[in-house]
Structures are given as structure tokens and as C-alpha cells.
Amino acid sequence: MIEVTLRSAELLVGEDADLVVQLANTGPGTCTHIFFTLTLPGEIMLLHGQDEIEVERLEPGKTATRILRVRPLRAARCQATSENFSYRDRYGKTRRVTDFRAELVTAVPERRGPAGAHPSTPKVAFTVDLVTAELPYGEWALLEGRITNSGTTELENVELSASGPAIPDEWRQRTRLRSVPPASSVPFGFFACADGAAGRLPVFLHLSFVDRARRCTRALVREVRVAKESQPSPSGQKESVVLFFAANPVDAEPLRTGREFMVIERALENGRGETIIKIRPSLATRVKDISRELLQVKPWIVHFAGHGGEPGESLAVEDEHGYARVVPPGGLASLFEIAGKGVECVIINACSTTGLAQALSEHVDYVIAMSQPIYDRDAIEFSRAFYQALAADHPIRSAFELAKAELEMLSDGGAYEIPLFLARQG
């Protein structure tokens, strides 16, 4: 069965917007020869894109997406319809849908002030752009973007969330950014993995910020290209998985965990060793996420990125509301004893986590932690050098020593003395 839905950002009179048409196969079998013609109401003008959509084949549970550029002409509550909507079901029988309706609401933009207003009146104006133009098919990658404030007032307490065909629903995709002053910009990033659709896919962004003590929201649609599925790995080549846990609690200083993931991913991709090493992220990590991923993924290496410290020189994850929750070292060690039997190494890239490292070293062959507070940039450089060495087939202990040597050359002060290596006894 083919179902069609329309999604859009705010439809404001006189302003161009993206209208996303999504065709989803919600039935148990493959549908073919899908034709859908969208008829827009008189209140909305089509600027760019094909309103006649043809999809040759759509597997169960998969979707096909098209983006139309439109411009609302007047404020109204109206309906889009279709007079030509048909497809063949899994038995080859032609199905025609004659009652398709989708409600669209257009509105007048907020007033910018009366004519002749004083030129110094604060004005909100910004752009949100995706820096990443293309994503690989079926692989995790970082989708990067940038918010630029071109107005005359500061955007405070900026929060951004993302969804779409390239961003699986099970991964909570939200990020908290610092304020964006006028004439400046800040980067953002979301993890993405498109394994059910290729081509040009929409990314739905929901932006929230404070302007002059008032919380404002904006819904935006951007587009990213997903490359076709890559070739399978050569037969006989060993493949291992790094499970990357990241936590950025809302009540703690923001860390560049997205940047760390990207640096590790690129280091592994550029490796020429005999083992293929893949990285899988687990975002906004909660306690229950750790056990679930350990049981499902069965990783070779587990990497924790986030905050650490007291109590117990342990790691902070997130609770259900996004606030920091410090994990008891004994509890996490017991979890690895039961669910982490195949894990060879745990990396705790967080400040002052010696206590947790000692507890884990009773059940894991190798544990790497940070004995003192460490700058974000130094922690990321250590990760890059460590995984670069692993991707060149160096053993774990050798990769650790290489990463320390690079940190000694790259960082100021004694950052290279902070990483700690523990091996299980016996």
C-alpha cells in the first residue's frame, strides 16, 4: 500500500519554501509503477520541481521523496489534491486512489515594524545551511551545518533538532549551541545513516532561540545528497566495530563529541591495514543505551566521549531529561563482565576517570582513561592518533604509545602525560 504525505516548514505569504512529498510503502509487498500528480491550491504557486512523480519500484517499508519549491500567495487554510494517483500492488493489480487530500496552512509573516521605523530597531535575520553536501549510503557519517546571524540582534540559547530519511528515529538528534551574536556564525552537526533511500533527501530542522526574552521557533527544510551504496568489502577481510558512546548533558559545558566522531571516522577510513574497522555511534547516551548496544553490536572496542570526575572518578551520561548522571564504576564494570565479554579495549576519553578505569580493568583486557582534566582539543587529537595507528594494524598498546607521542609534539604543556593505560592482570 502506498501512502503519500506532505511536509513543509512555515508557509509564509510571499516567501519561498520547500514542500516535501513523501511516498511510503506501508504494505507487506513490493509496489511498482507508482504515479502521483500533485495539484496545488490556487493560494500556492509552484516555483521549481516536478509535480508529476513517477517511482518504478518501492520495497516494503521504504520511502521515496521529492522536494518542490513553492511560494504562498495569500493566507488561507487550503488543500492539495491529486487526480492521478495509482500503483501496482504486490500481486500486480493496479490500485487507484481518488480521495487524496492534504491540508496546507499559509500565514502572513510577522510584522517587521511600521514604515519609517528607526533603523536601529533590532532585527532577527539568520540563515541555516548544510556544509555537508553528500552522505555515503548505509554508513554512519557526520552531517555538518552552520547557523549565520545576519541580523542586528543576538540569538540566545539556541537549540536545534533534526530528522528525516537520513536520520534514524531511534537516535535522538538535538544539539544545544551557544548564543550567536550579530555578524557571526556557529557550526553544528548531526549523525546520519541513510540505508533505506538514496538521491536527494530532505533534512527537517527545528530551530529554537531566545530573542529579547521571547522564545522563538522556526521550522526549516534543507537537502542532502546520498550516494549510492558502496561496494562490499573484499572477501576474507576481517571486520571489527568500534562502539562510540557520546554524552553532552545540558547542565554541563558543551563538548565537541561530534567533531571527535568525525575525526575517528576519517582516521579509520584512511587506514590501509588488513582489518576493516567500522565505527557506530550511540548519541545522548543513557545508562540503558550502554547495555542495549553492547548486546546488539558486540564491539571490539568501546569508546566513551564526554565528561568525567567525581563521584568515584567515573563517567557522566544523560538521564531521560538530558541532565548529567554519573555512572557508578562498580555497576558499569559488572555490566561489562556480563555483556562485554568480546570487548578487547575500553577508551574513556573524559576527564579524571581513573576510578572507572581501574574497575573496568578487572573484566576488560585493556582500558585507556584520562588521569586528570584534559582540554577538548587534546582529547580529540589523542583519539585521532590512536585510531590512525589501529587502522595501520598496530596493536592496541602500540597505538596508545604512538598517540601519546603525537600528543607530546602537538600540545602545549604536559597533556601527553594524562592518558592512562591499564592491562588486565592474569
pLDDT confidence of residue 31: 92
pLDDT of 111 reads 54
3-state secondary structure of 405: helix
> Which tens digits make up the pLDDT trace of 152-190?
888 888 888 888 888 865 555 677 777 888 878 888 888
Percent of the chain at pLDDT > 70 equals 92
How many Å apart are CA 231 and CA 353, to the nearest integer? 40
pTM (2 decimals)? 0.59
- Give the model confidence (pLDDT) of 203-216 as tens digits: 888 888 887 777 88
Rounded to the nearest 5°, which phi and psi values hold at 408?
-65, -35
354-403 pLDDT, tens digit per residue, is 999 999 999 999 999 999 999 999 999 999 999 999 999 999 999 999 99
Residue 417, pLDDT above cutoff 80? yes
Check whether domain 126-229 has CATH 3.40.1280.10, yes or no: no
pLDDT band at 112 (very low <50, low <70, confident <90, very high): very low
* Element housing 189 (H / E): strand 184-192
Inform me whether the pLDDT recorded for 117 exceeds 50. Answer: no
How would CATH label the architecture of 239-423?
A: 3-Layer(aba) Sandwich (3.40)
Q: Which three cell numbers stand for residue 25?
A: 510503502
Give domain limits for the chain: 2-107, 126-229, 239-423
pLDDT at 321 over 60: yes
Give the chain's length: 426
pLDDT at 120 (0 to 100): 52
- Check whether 114 has a pLDDT greater than 70: no
| Superfamily of segment(s) 2-107 | Immunoglobulins (2.60.40.10)
Per-residue pLDDT tens digits for 55-109: 888 988 888 888 888 888 888 899 999 989 999 998 889 999 999 999 999 988 7
- Domain 2-107 identical in fold to domain 239-423: no
Cα separation values, 363 from 211, 234, 328, Å: 51, 33, 15
HEC sequence for 332-394? HHHHHHHHCCCCCEEEEECCCCHHHHHHHCCCCCEEEEECCCCCHHHHHHHHHHHHHHHHCCC
pLDDT at 330: 94
